[in-house]
Amino acid sequence: MMSSKQFERWSPLILLALLVALWEAVCVLFTIPEFIFPAPTKIAQALVEFSGPIAEAAWKTFWVTMAGFGLSIVVGVLLGFLVGSSRLAYAAIYPLLVAFNAVPKAAIVPILIVWFGMGVGPGILTAFLISFFPITVNMATGLATLEPELEDVLRVLGAKRMDVLMKVGLPRSMPYFYGALKVSITLAFVGTVLAEMTAGDSGIGYLMQSAGSQQRLALAFAGLIVIGAMAMLMYELFSAVEKHTTAWAHRGSQSH
């Protein structure tokens, strides 16, 4: 028998297997055509048959996403530090960031095509634009919510404002930072695929767009699965790094 902890650990895979089995059964029982809604077995066949082009496209999408995501980390951390450390900056910049984040990124891609042409440029910038906001907000929140009493005590002991932010504020913001990374990396993949479908000449988004236009839905779904797998792996990577670097923030939850 599987223990409760083992069942909890394997529950995502068990649920996934049940959903795939249900998906396959629905497609078979209702004889749904492949060009409308392909069965998992057809998608698996497409993954094997087009493994070379899919792998090449996935690598292109991955490094474009990582480039945009890396840029979002740098800008997000710096901007979050500025917004979170200054009340004036928070009041002046934060509303503008919220307004910019509300703009649909699909509407920005045509502008990026005009500025940077077809290729990787729009993909990198779209991944950056769609993923930097959670990092900025979480960093700012971690710094801005520093307890006033703690800050007052440190100031009385002779600590300067910058000392408080660097030695207390930043470490305290790390759980917020890693939480933002796990959200932003998934958004970055969305941004890259969006740009590839509109302005790309390669990558998973371009492959899916081409497959969809040819009614090869199994190949398009294969691209979706690859994107989901890459995003999930990066999410788990950041979760593992978070547990090893901010264990103090999860100590209470680990005791249960």
Q: What is the pLDDT of residue 247?
A: 63
Q: What is the pLDDT of residue 86?
A: 81
DSSP for residue 33: -
Q: What is the pLDDT of residue 148?
A: 62
Q: What is the pLDDT of residue 47?
A: 94
Burial of 112 (0-12, 13-18, 19+ CB in 10 A): buried
Query: Which pTM value belongs to this model?
Result: 0.84
Q: What is the pLDDT of residue 192?
A: 93
pLDDT along the chain (256 residues), means of 10: 69 88 93 89 93 94 96 94 84 88 86 85 92 91 69 61 66 85 93 88 90 90 94 91 72 46
Fold annotation for 38-140+174-245: MetI-like fold (1.10.3720)
Q: What is the pLDDT of residue 215?
A: 87
How far are the Cα atoms of 19, 21, 31, 40 from residue 26, in angstroms, in the given order? 10, 9, 8, 11
43 contacts 218 by C-beta, under 8 angstroms: yes
